[in-house]
């Protein structure tokens, strides 16, 4: 049980210390219950219908493949119904791709000559659903057959938590900070971990990542080009991935800027409110100033796309729809056509540090689940199309 007795303290520091201790106990207890017994997340099973949809085939075609032996039967069959693990779906993609007459039909990732796509999600206003958008994009792309690397540049580690690593419980091993630090950095490959989600790897964040801001300020006077550090780190693992998704901190600091330099594309999530519109205007203005400073060093930045993503969209809210219309009038195709809906399904999943793709339809009101998933599918599909266009397809 959590402590409920009043906190009595002789000083403010003692008071805040006790508050921190209670919060740590509560978080630890909750996470240990959520991830018991080994504190690791596991991806749910997918029905045959879901699997066929993910593979872009019919249920009849899937059954035919099993009967002919071109695809192995899944390990879990209940009452005559097939259920697939994420690994089995990924294996099916590889097998189907090998026999497909259309290259990239089942594995739509990079081909020879295609450059790695690095997508940075950034906004310096909290509450823009940036981390939620990042994890949904990672999961959508991984389920679609892309090799995805998630990089968490936020010292708070929200994306790291979504990927099943709980910074509140600590974890061993290197983090993205170890690859970016100025003294004895490690290769990025040593900071990358596999996640429970097939096709998705993670460069996790820890609170120590905030030290990068201080270290960069100290080293700036020594002529060190800080903005190249992440780009160089990513370059060392480039051949292993199709897409990199970067979740930036809600601030326009050195971490965000090194991500911006490494990015081939930028997505700015924003909720449709006047307050967020004003904040985004300031953010873009400051971004422009900082980009100018980088470009003054002789560096040429060229992003494949720089787009806004409307998040927590409520089509029934007239004032918010006026903001959406204004954004589309101002920036036209630079606003992602699909929007991420305000949904209790997404909110409930996020409370458990899950995406909508990790939740079974039977666990929620089906209409609510369907609306939420359709929304996130549309956003993911549009970003995937942008990636394909960047590859000239």
Q: What tens digit of pLDDT does each residue of 118-138 get?
A: 999 998 777 789 999 999 999
Dihedral sign for Cα atoms in the order 136, 137, 142, 144: positive
Which pLDDT does position 338 carry in this prediction? 97
Within this chain, do residues 137 and 258 fall inside the same structural domain, yes or no? yes
Whether this model's pTM surpasses 0.75: yes
Within this chain, do residues 221 and 353 fall inside the same structural domain, yes or no? yes
Cα(159)–Cα(200) distance, integer angstroms: 12
Provide the domain count of the chain. Answer: 2
- Asked whether residue 319 carries a pLDDT value surpassing 50, the answer given is yes
- Whether residue 336 contacts residue 308, with contact meaning beta carbons closer than 8 Å, is answered with yes
Could you read off the pLDDT of 229-288 as tens digits, one per residue? 999 999 999 999 999 999 999 888 899 999 999 999 999 999 998 888 888 888 888 888
Domain containing 224 equals 117-391
Which pLDDT does position 171 carry in this prediction? 62
Whether 30 is covered by a domain: the verdict is: no
Cα(312)–Cα(177) distance, integer angstroms: 31
Within this chain, do residues 223 and 332 fall inside the same structural domain, yes or no? yes
- Asked whether residue 44 carries a pLDDT value surpassing 50, the answer given is yes
Q: In 3D, which of 40, 42, 64 has the Cα closest to residue 52? A: 64
Integer Rg of the chain from CA? 22
- Asked whether residue 210 carries a pLDDT value surpassing 90, the answer given is yes
Q: In 3D, which of 29, 202, 46, 192 has the Cα closest to residue 131? A: 202
For residue 86, the domain's CATH number is 1.10.1660.10
Which pLDDT does position 36 carry in this prediction? 47
Cα(212)–Cα(195) distance, integer angstroms: 25
Cα(19)–Cα(22) distance, integer angstroms: 5
Within this chain, do residues 142 and 211 fall inside the same structural domain, yes or no? yes
pLDDT band at 30 (very low <50, low <70, confident <90, very high): low
Whether 41 is covered by a domain: the verdict is: no
- Whether residue 98 contacts residue 145, with contact meaning beta carbons closer than 8 Å, is answered with no
Which pLDDT does position 1 carry in this prediction? 46
Sheet containing strand 46-47, strands side by side: 46-47, 81-84, 76-78
Whether 40 is covered by a domain: the verdict is: no
Here the tokens at position 238 are 């480039």
Q: In 3D, which of 359, 327, 330, 333 has the Cα closest to residue 344? A: 359
Within this chain, do residues 94 and 161 fall inside the same structural domain, yes or no? no
- Asked whether residue 169 carries a pLDDT value surpassing 60, the answer given is no
């Amino acid at each position: 049980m959590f402590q409920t007795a009043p906190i009595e303290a002789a000083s403010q520091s003692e008071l805040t210390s006790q508050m921190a201790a209670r919060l740590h106990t509560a978080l630890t207890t909750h996470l240990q219950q959520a991830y018991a017994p080994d504190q690791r997340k596991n991806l749910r099973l997918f029905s045959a219908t879901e699997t066929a949809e993910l593979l872009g085939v019919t249920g009849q075609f899937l059954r035919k493949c099993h009967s002919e032996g071109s695809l192995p039967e899944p390990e879990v069959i209940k009452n005559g119904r097939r259920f697939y693990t994420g690994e089995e779906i990924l294996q099916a993609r590889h097998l189907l791709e090998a026999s497909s007459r259309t290259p990239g039909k089942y594995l739509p990732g990079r081909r020879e000559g295609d450059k790695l796509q690095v997508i940075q999600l950034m906004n310096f206003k909290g509450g823009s659903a940036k981390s939620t958008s990042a994890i949904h994009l990672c999961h959508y792309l991984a389920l679609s057959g892309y090799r995805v690397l998630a990089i968490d540049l936020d010292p708070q580690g929200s994306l790291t938590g979504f990927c099943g690593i709980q910074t509140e419980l600590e974890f061993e091993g290197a983090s993205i900070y170890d690859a970016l630090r100025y003294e004895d950095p490690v290769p990025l490959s040593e900071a990358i971990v596999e996640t429970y989600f097939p096709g998705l790897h993670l460069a996790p964040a820890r609170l120590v990542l905030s030290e990068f801001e201080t270290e960069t300020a100290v080293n700036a006077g020594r002529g060190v080009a800080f903005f190249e550090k992440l780009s160089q780190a990513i370059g060392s693992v480039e051949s292993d991935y199709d897409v990199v998704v970067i979740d930036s901190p809600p601030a326009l600091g050195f971490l965000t800027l090194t991500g911006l330099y490494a990015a081939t594309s930028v997505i700015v999530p924003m909720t449709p409110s006047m307050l967020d519109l004003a904040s985004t205007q300031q953010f873009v203005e400051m971004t422009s100033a900082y980009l100018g400073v980088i470009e003054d060093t002789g560096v040429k930045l060229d992003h494949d796309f720089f787009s806004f993503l409307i998040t927590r969209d409520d089509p029934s809210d007239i004032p918010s729809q006026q903001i959406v219309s204004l954004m589309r009038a101002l920036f036209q195709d630079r606003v992602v056509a699909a929007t991420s809906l305000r949904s209790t399904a997404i909110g409930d999943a996020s409370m458990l540090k899950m995406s909508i793709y990790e939740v079974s339809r039977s666990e929620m009101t089906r209409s609510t689940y369907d609306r939420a998933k359709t929304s996130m599918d549309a956003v993911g599909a549009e970003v995937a199309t942008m990636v394909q266009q960047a590859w000239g397809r």
